[in-house]
Amino acid sequence: MKDKEFRKIAIVGLGLIGGSLAWALKKSGRIGNVTGIDSDGDSIDFAVSEKIIDEGYTGLREGISDAGIIVIATNVGQIVKTAKAIIPLAGKGAVITDVGSVKGRIVRGVEKVLPAHLRFVGGHPIAGTENSGVRSGDPGLFKGKRFVVTPTSKTDPKAVRKVASLWKTAGAEIHEMDPEAHDRIFGFVSHLPHIVAYSLVDTILSAPDAETLLDFAGGGLRDFTRVAASSPGMWADIFTENRENTLKSIKKFKKSLEKLEAVIENKDSESLKKLLSRSSRARREFSK
Amino acid sequence: MKDKEFRKIAIVGLGLIGGSLAWALKKSGRIGNVTGIDSDGDSIDFAVSEKIIDEGYTGLREGISDAGIIVIATNVGQIVKTAKAIIPLAGKGAVITDVGSVKGRIVRGVEKVLPAHLRFVGGHPIAGTENSGVRSGDPGLFKGKRFVVTPTSKTDPKAVRKVASLWKTAGAEIHEMDPEAHDRIFGFVSHLPHIVAYSLVDTILSAPDAETLLDFAGGGLRDFTRVAASSPGMWADIFTENRENTLKSIKKFKKSLEKLEAVIENKDSESLKKLLSRSSRARREFSK
């Protein structure tokens, strides 16, 4: 096993992200042992039988012993708690990392309790689908996608390189930023769009003829219902963990919405066209 | 030409919808003559050379003479004006129809000026892309899509059947509803989602680090930038023509958004999960 890049990786939480990462690492052939840990025995059995992991456990202790890197891939709301449970069990020098969609609270929360003989590196793979669970896993999920790593002044650079190398093995491109910048950016480009999609679907569901409206969802609503179909528990955690940025971005969004509302209300068609033109150009100019 | 279903169809406005309809009808082989009329000579030349139309004109008079059905496929804001220009030129018994995304004002506006020897039938094909122009045309654009026909008490049922038959020839499924029901439904399922998408992109563009934010658009924003890339002139017209429904739906949407904002603000995670769960189930339960 000398030629393996990593001897043993333990992944705690075999959901869509944890399962897909395990699978990508296992397929790469560059990891000595990929171990999965999940409280759900069925997920473990499925992952072992599909060769997504080498071995699996429902308990932390057996699973993380000897692991050089321990990836926490639980729900965002459980990450700090899980890290606290891992700390007394992890071997000297082990690198703990996570995949949470929110970084500030998690990174600062784990740093506060991290002993000197362990390392922690916050991370967030920008990939996913509206499905969840290891059964929706895909070893190609991270291919060409970004992995945002969020070191702080307290983070060991060697540990950052190890985590980056792990995600490169899974096919991701590495981007580095501090946890607070991450939460501001993703508050705007990911959490706010989900808030908006959930609210839009709620608007439709609150109408007396909701079924008729949904029957005509093809008229533009469909993309939004797809976004709003994402795991409600996961998103409730994300909005809660990134509360301040989410609330700030909602306030900014309401300003933009009210600007548009006012020009329609005032029949100001010149300003209306100008506003729409600016937004319509954005896609062509910036995004791919 | 006895076995042709229609002798001559004139389409006024060779954009994405008009061009695609012309093309679908021409390919069907069931129309004696498909004539295109557009003030832009280049669109006419392109459509003739690509065999999208049999002949084309930049002037109404030459184009619509002898046409049994005249389809107005201009921008929503131009439809009533175009109908008024067509009326003195159309032959006795001709059926005038349109493709506007708003129906109430258009149908009532044309009915007010329609002479007894002509027929008018309002319609709206539920199809399109974020592109525009005949060069983005597609003869399969309406295949399996809905065409909403909006007769009133004043509409000739025979004319409705003719228009329905035309759109069936282009591959569409026919749905009938009154113009006001149409505008209410599409205010919610199409116009509101576009308002929301434009506002969301405006929120991002208004941030000091807009370029960085757009660079991470993959995090959830991308679907919205696609919707907001739609033709600003067309959407300004739609919001203006369906002003009351659009404003009402914005108000309802703001209520849903503020409900979500309040539970995040109050750290009421039980209510937050409940709200998100309801929206997340909607897709699975109702839409296809």
Give the tokens for residue B83.
């109908």
* Mean of pLDDT values over B113-131: 93
Query: Is the pLDDT score of B242 beyond 50?
Result: yes
The pLDDT confidence band at residue A3, using thresholds 50, 70 and 90, is low
Q: Which chain A residues in 77-136 lie under 8 Å from chain B, judged by CB atoms?
A: 126
Does the beta-carbon distance from B217 to A189 stay under 8 Å? Answer: yes
As a whole-number percent, the residues of chain A with pLDDT over 90 amount to: 85
Does the beta-carbon distance from B280 to A231 stay under 8 Å? Answer: yes
Measured in angstroms, the CA of A43 and the nearest CA of chain B are apart by 23
User: pLDDT value at position A255?
Assistant: 98
Tell me the per-residue pLDDT of B30-55, one tens digit each, with 9 for 90 and over: 999 999 999 999 999 999 999 999 99
Q: Of B246, B255, B273, which has the smallest distance from its Cβ to A233's Cβ?
A: B273
User: In whole angstroms, what is the distance from residue B24 CA to residue B21 CA?
Assistant: 5
What letter represents residue A109's amino acid?
A: G
Phi, psi for residue B44 in degrees, rounded to 5: -60, -50
Helix, strand or coil, per DSSP, at residue B152: coil
The pLDDT confidence band at residue A203, using thresholds 50, 70 and 90, is very high
User: In whole angstroms, what is the distance from residue B165 CA to residue B168 CA?
Assistant: 5
Give the tokens for residue A75.
């729900």
- The residue behind tokens 């509101």 is B192
* Mean of pLDDT values over B75-95: 96
User: In whole angstroms, what is the distance from residue A107 CA to residue A102 CA?
Assistant: 9
User: In whole angstroms, what is the distance from residue A96 CA to residue A284 CA?
Assistant: 40
Query: Is the pLDDT score of B284 beyond 80?
Result: no
Tell me the per-residue pLDDT of A128-162, one tens digit each, with 9 for 90 and over: 777 789 999 999 999 999 999 999 999 999 999 99
* Mean of pLDDT values over B126-133: 83
User: pLDDT value at position B231?
Assistant: 85
* Mean of pLDDT values over B172-185: 97
* Mean of pLDDT values over B151-175: 98
Quote ipTM for the complex. Answer: 0.88
Residue spans per domain, chain A: 6-177, 181-285
* Mean of pLDDT values over A5-14: 94
Does the beta-carbon distance from A202 to B275 stay under 8 Å? Answer: yes
User: pLDDT value at position A148?
Assistant: 97
User: In whole angstroms, what is the distance from residue A28 CA to residue A15 CA?
Assistant: 19
Q: Which chain A residues in 135-154 lie under 8 Å from chain B, judged by CB atoms?
A: 145-146
Query: Is the pLDDT score of B288 beyond 50?
Result: no
Does the beta-carbon distance from B192 to A206 stay under 8 Å? Answer: no
More confident residue, A105 or B5: A105
DSSP secondary structure code for residue A15 in this structure: S
Phi, psi for residue B86 in degrees, rounded to 5: -75, -40
Pick the CATH number of B181-285 from 1.10.260.40, 3.20.20.105, 1.10.3660.10, 2.10.50.10: 1.10.3660.10
User: pLDDT value at position B1?
Assistant: 43
More confident residue, A281 or B192: B192
Query: Is the pLDDT score of A2 beyond 50?
Result: no
CATH 3.40.50.300 fits B6-177, yes or no: no
User: pLDDT value at position B63?
Assistant: 95
DSSP secondary structure code for residue B51 in this structure: T
Does the beta-carbon distance from B277 to A249 stay under 8 Å? Answer: no
* Mean of pLDDT values over A47-51: 97
* Mean of pLDDT values over B80-96: 97
Query: Is the pLDDT score of A287 beyond 90?
Result: no
Let me know how many helices (H) and strands (E) chain B has, helices first.
13, 9
Among residues B102, B120, B248, B83, the alpha carbon closest in space to that of B180 is found at B102
Q: At what angle do helices A192-205 and B269-285 cross, to 10 degrees?
A: 70
- The pLDDT mean for chain B works out to 94
Does the beta-carbon distance from A239 to B272 stay under 8 Å? Answer: yes
* Mean of pLDDT values over B106-125: 98
User: pLDDT value at position B224?
Assistant: 84
Query: Is the pLDDT score of B2 beyond 50?
Result: no
Contacts with B132 from chain A: Cβ below 8 Å: none
Compare all CA atoms of chain B with the CA of A229 and give the residue at the minimum distance: B280
- The pLDDT mean for chain A works out to 94
User: In whole angstroms, what is the distance from residue B189 CA to residue A207 CA?
Assistant: 11
Residue A115 burial (CB count, 10 A): 9
Q: What pTM was estimated for this model as a whole?
A: 0.89
User: In whole angstroms, what is the distance from residue B228 CA to residue A223 CA?
Assistant: 12
Query: Is the pLDDT score of A1 beyond 50?
Result: no
Task: Classify residue B83 by burial, with Cβ atoms within 10 Å: 0-12, 13-18, 19+.
Answer: buried
User: Do the strands B119-121 and B95-98 form a parallel or antiparallel pair, or are they unpaired?
Assistant: parallel
The pLDDT confidence band at residue A246, using thresholds 50, 70 and 90, is very high
Query: Rounded to the nearest 5 degrees, what angle is found at the Cα of A127, between the Cα atoms of A86 and A129?
Result: 105
Give the tokens for residue B149.
């026909």
User: In whole angstroms, what is the distance from residue A249 CA to residue B264 CA?
Assistant: 12
The pLDDT confidence band at residue A285, using thresholds 50, 70 and 90, is low
Q: Of A216, A235, A282, which has the smallest distance from its Cβ to B189's Cβ?
A: A216
Which residues are within 8 A (CB) of B38 and not within 5 positions of it... i.e. 6 or more apart? B12, B13, B14, B18, B44, B47, B56, B58, B134
- The residue behind tokens 């409940």 is B274
In total, chain A counts a number of residues equal to 288
Query: Is the pLDDT score of B273 beyond 90?
Result: yes
User: pLDDT value at position A286?
Assistant: 56
List the beta bridge partners of residue B57.
Answer: B37
Give the tokens for residue A214.
């949904």
List the beta bridge partners of residue B37.
Answer: B12, B57
Tell me the per-residue pLDDT of B189-199, one tens digit each, with 9 for 90 and over: 999 999 999 99
As a whole-number percent, the residues of chain B with pLDDT over 90 amount to: 85
